[in-house]
Amino acid sequence: MSQVNAIGLNSTKSEDIIKSLNTLLSSYQIQYMNARGFHWNIKGRNFFELHLKFEEIYNLLLLKVDEIAERILTLDGAPLHAFSDYLEVSEIKEAKGISDGVTAVENLLAGYSSLIKMQRDILAQAAEADDEGTASLMSDYIKEQEKLVWMLKAYLD
């Protein structure tokens, strides 16, 4: 007989989801810091529009960081919270010294592509574990970010 957690999900499957969510959380934190850095350091002809867009992006990322951490806690896990852990676990790398708009947008686009892939993987894990809460969260993020990827690509064309 399998153990279940406080919300009625298989504990072993939840532990696997927690591990994946911590990787996602770490990746979000790095994507957030990258977007924040682009906001601060952007220069050039598109400064005004990109400065505002990067602020919008990092605010959206910050909301998701909190939601992911709370989902980890809901599943009886512990969210990573040290930046050294984020750097070690993240699938997104730090972007340093970028002030060019095109390079910044390309970097964000690559980061979002990674996030979407991770979220699809977690969506599949959650479906297998009958974890509707995590599945719903991932589905909402994927839908929003697919549109953002389209917009970022359109900016680069």
What domains sit in the chain, N to C, each tagged with a CATH number?
Answer: 11-156 (1.20.1260.10)
Residue in 136, 145, 91 with CA at minimum distance from that of residue 116? 145
Give residue 2's pLDDT.
63
> Could you give the C-alpha distances from 88 to 35, 58, 127, 136, in angstroms and in order?
19, 21, 27, 27
Give residue 1's pLDDT.
46
Question: For residue range 64-98, what is the model confidence (pLDDT) as tens digits?
Answer: 999 999 999 999 999 999 999 999 999 999 999 99
Cα separation, 43 vs 138, whole angstroms? 34
Question: For residue range 2-34, what is the model confidence (pLDDT) as tens digits?
Answer: 699 999 999 999 999 999 999 999 999 999 999
Q: Which residues pair with 4 in a beta bridge?
A: 10
Torsion of CA 102, 60, 36, 86, to 10 degrees: -110
Element (H, E) at 48: helix 47-74
Taking the model in full, what pTM does it have? 0.96
Question: For residue range 94-116, what is the model confidence (pLDDT) as tens digits?
Answer: 999 999 999 999 999 999 999 99
Question: For residue range 116-127, what is the model confidence (pLDDT) as tens digits?
Answer: 999 999 999 999
Give residue 115's pLDDT.
98
Cα separation, 150 vs 128, whole angstroms? 29
